[in-house]
Amino acid sequence: MLLFSTMLAINEKMGKEDFIRLVMEWNQNSPHEENVIPNLEWRGKYRERYGSDTSWLEFESYNDDEVIACRYENVEVDGTVWDTDYIVNFKERKLAVRLDRSFDEDAMQPRRAFMPPFFISNLMRGDYLEADGEVPVSEEPIEITHEMIERLIDVINQSSSYYLPVIYVSRKWDNKLPVNVKLLAKHLKGVAHVFVEANKSMDNILRERCNNRNEYNGTIGVYYPSQTESHRRFFSKIPLDGYDEALMERVIRNVVEYSNAKRVAPLYTWEGIKSAVFQEEWSHQRQRRVAAETEVEKTRQETDELLEMVSQENDVLRSEIERLTRQNEALINENHGFRTKLAVSEEKYPILFQGNESEIYPNEIREMVLDLVCEAKDKEPVKSRRKDVYTDVLECNGYQGLTKKKKNEVKRLFSGYSYMSPSLQQGLKDFGLAVEKGGKHYKISFPRDDRYMTTISQTGSDHREGKNIAARIIRDFL
């Protein structure tokens, strides 16, 4: 399970040997003795592995050492597997940091809290990180004074943004802060900037300059650089004299999930780098094989031995490439899950629970229910409680109108229907439908579910045939 992911810009101060030295110092200075690899000392190679089967550190390089990747893996006694990845692209001057936790078949799978890797603090203290615009990437909160208020106004008005999200913490009625901002900044180091209102007297200025869109009275705003997720607001659910730890946890979880859901290019992941290296080696082996085949007539015996060796190496490399490709696809699906989860955050409360029906395609059942809510909303007067509630449910559940889109696509597929072409069959299969030929008709149904079924003639009899078929499919399957 991906716990932490971020992408940071590095400055020209960091070189390849600096990166390797920082990683090794991070391991050797770990406060957890069981994580320290004994006698860890760089041997001058960019491709090297250190440690044991349960605790190891490996470096890999790609593209003439322009990309250097590092993975540290630690398998705990209870079966928990921790993977920490650092990948630097020195040409693009970017650094990816990822923390992943998994379990072997005997693990208890405990829920354990985590903090961002301390390696990020070392980067900050060594001044290796490029500033985000005019804002330094820091593990300390940034106090917004009257002299700096223009910076916050631009963020709230969305006239400027940073590549990291901006968290704005306003002060409560008594001029106190709702959360421990120092602890908040440490939990989100490397994934967000934490701006803190210096004094409550700034509220009136912000209201006037931001058209009342600013946070105030202890509310926390999160401003994302993404167009699809640009702003979230968090309120304290109970009045407290001290810090609201539940409020801070909701903010941390929301920002970390956003960061984890961002798509990462394959060459900024450990599996992607390993796959690229194996692909490169396989290509070199293939070139060697072609060259060897041209010499067959001269040295057949020697060439046969070489071809056998290269063939065995190719089989191993190809198998490894397929395994890593499957891993990459699993990670892409996991990221898609995070993005879906982000759209309906854990902090929101479910209105209904799903029954026993399985979904034919992702979000099918939710979209059906939301279709009814949308239809009901359109029938209500403009100023009514029901219309506001229906609108809020649709917005908070990421209503996409998938059913309407699928209906239009079905109508398009059968427009001017004359016969069941291969492209039409493929279009139906893309909808999750099974197409089976029988006699003069085709049977259309859901795979593994024969409760819904309709038939289609092999050829259209008149100009309305396509419309009638589309109407039946929409009625029975959508």
For residue 348, name the pLDDT band (cuts at 50, 70, 90). Answer: low
Nearest to 68 by CA among 274, 317, 264, 321: 274
Q: Is the pLDDT of residue 407 over 90?
A: no
CA dist 121 → 16, 125, 131, 352 (Å): 18, 6, 14, 43
- For the ranges 117-121, 326-330, 405-409, 427-431, the one whose mean pLDDT is highest: 117-121
How much is the pLDDT for 252? 94
Compute the distance between CA of residue 279 and CA of residue 63 in angstroms, rounded to an integer: 12
Q: Is the pLDDT of residue 159 over 90?
A: no
Compute the distance between CA of residue 289 and CA of residue 9 in angstroms, rounded to an integer: 41
How much is the pLDDT for 120? 95
How much is the pLDDT for 461? 74
Tokens 């693009």 correspond to what residue?
92
Compute the distance between CA of residue 202 and CA of residue 204 in angstroms, rounded to an integer: 6
How much is the pLDDT for 339? 58
With vertex at residue 231, the alpha carbon angle to CA 228 and CA 234, rounded to the nearest 5 degrees, is 135
* Sequence-ordered list of residues with C-beta below 8 angstroms from that of 359, at least 6 positions apart, any chain: 365
Q: Is the pLDDT of residue 355 over 70?
A: yes
Ramachandran angles phi, psi of 192, nearest 5°: -160, 155
- 243-299 pLDDT per residue, tens: 999 999 999 999 999 999 888 999 999 999 999 999 988 888 888 888 877 776 677
- 3-class SS of residue 118: coil
Q: Is the pLDDT of residue 341 over 70?
A: no
- 33-79 pLDDT per residue, tens: 889 999 999 999 999 999 999 999 999 999 888 999 999 999 988 88
Compute the distance between CA of residue 126 and CA of residue 18 in angstroms, rounded to an integer: 10
Q: Is the pLDDT of residue 346 over 60?
A: no
How much is the pLDDT for 106? 56
Q: Is the pLDDT of residue 354 over 80?
A: no
* Sequence-ordered list of residues with C-beta below 8 angstroms from that of 3, at least 6 positions apart, any chain: 99, 100, 101, 114, 256, 260
Q: Is the pLDDT of residue 331 over 80?
A: no
Across the chain, how many H-helices and E-strands are there? 13, 14
Specify the pTM. Answer: 0.61
Record the tokens describing residue 468, joined without a space: 């009638």
Compute how many other C-beta atoms are within 10 angstroms of the C-beta atom of residue 475. 10
How much is the pLDDT for 224? 92
Q: Is the pLDDT of residue 130 over 60?
A: yes
How much is the pLDDT for 105? 58
